[in-house]
Amino acid sequence: MRINEIFYSLQGEGRFTGTPAVFIRFAGCNLKCPFCDTRHDTFTEMSEEDIIAEVSKYPTSHIVITGGEPTLQLTATLVGKLHAAGKFIQIETNGTCALPDGCTIDWITCSPKYRPVKLEHIDELKVIYMSEEQDMSQYDCITASAYSLQPCDTGNAKTNARILKETIAYCLAHPKWRLSLQTHKMINVR
């Protein structure tokens, strides 16, 4: 498997913000989002056993499988081995690919990027909010346990301030949505 990195930190966004977690970041993605902050050209080939050995070095049971787009490489056998090791598995996916057959994930965070969602179950719908002109009605048909709205980080402080203000206003007008901030960037942790 092509792994961009495995690291231990705090979950910085969404439902589990502040939770200590081991992040398994798969390399590669089927989308090229202009705001993506992940490099996809560097990776290390790792076996499932290598991945299990690496995540076992850390004291948490919370694992975040992310990318890129992790469903392009994820296997049910890796998920099974992580569960056998006592891990709680959260995945962050764009939802454009179905989970592999037999893949049982404990918490699915789907952050769709203007493509049809192919997941049968979503625990958290996390939408990147860019402007008040954004068509949020496309998410009305997606059922989830939690709805998170995250202001897009453009890298421009003035633009980010405008987007944050509009995201807050949207959440206040549509209270099913919860504000999700990238706290890991705010407190300068990985």
Known catalytic membership, residue 71: no
Known catalytic membership, residue 33: yes
Known catalytic membership, residue 92: yes
Element (H, E) at 24: strand 20-26
Q: How many helices (H) and strands (E) does the chain have?
A: 4, 9
**Catalytic position from the list 13, 16, 69, 92:** 92
Residues 6+ apart with CB under 8 A from 41: 27
**Catalytic position from the list 38, 75, 159, 183:** 38
Q: How far apart are the first and last CA of the chain?
A: 22
Q: Which residues pair with 89 in a beta bridge?
A: 63
**Catalytic position from the list 5, 19, 33, 103:** 33
What backbone phi and psi angles, to 5 degrees, belong to 12? Answer: -95, -10
**Catalytic position from the list 36, 49, 121, 174:** 36
**How far is Cα 75 from Cα 79, in angstroms, rounded to an integer?**
7
Known catalytic membership, residue 121: no
Known catalytic membership, residue 36: yes
**Catalytic position from the list 13, 23, 69, 123:** 23
User: Which token pair is 173?
Assistant: 């007008």
**Based on the number of CB atoms within 10 Å of its own CB, is 189 exposed (0-12), middle (13-18) or buried (19 or more)?**
exposed
Known catalytic membership, residue 184: yes
Active site residues: 23, 29, 33, 36-38, 92, 184
